[in-house]
Amino acid sequence: MVEGSQQSNPHPHKNRRTQLSLQIIVAAVIFASGIIVGAGGTILLVRHKVLWIHHYHKEAASIALQIKARYNLTEQQTKKVEDVFTRAFESRKAVRSQLQTKFDAEREKLVSEMKAVLTPQQFEKWHIDFQKRLEQYKKRRRNDSEKTK
């Protein structure tokens, strides 16, 4: 009576094979998805980092085209607008470079003043911490500038 109520599977190895096959298929799908996501991320990185070389010139051209469409400019006006924006972007780049030079000088001044106040051991610890904070600041600035592009 007990034997009749229990149903035994006549082919238990088939269920195991089916389960193993499904596990292999799922693992392959997950692996392929990882490859696709990684490749997509790499493409975005290359597109964002590498292809932005001389971006300001292309940006000036696209701005000029937008202004041309909006204000019905002639080709001659469009070229002049593009030149105006190109010069403005180059001027901004020069100003940023000058500011960076001034910031670097101020940072060096701060470091030399701190070196005069602190003992060599204190200065060494402070300088390491200062460099870490500076790197964090630069990283945050890079991330912020990438978000605004």
Say which residue the tokens 């998805």 belong to. 33
Where are the chain's structural domains? 52-104, 118-149
Instruction: Note the pLDDT of residue 1.
Output: 46
pLDDT by residue (tens digit) across 128-141?
999 999 999 888 87
Residue with tokens 């500038």: 145
What's the pLDDT score for residue 128? Answer: 95
Q: What is the model's pLDDT at position 109?
A: 96
Neighbours of 132 (CB within 10 A): 10
Question: Are 111 and 127 spatial neighbours (Cβ–Cβ below 8 Å)?
Answer: yes
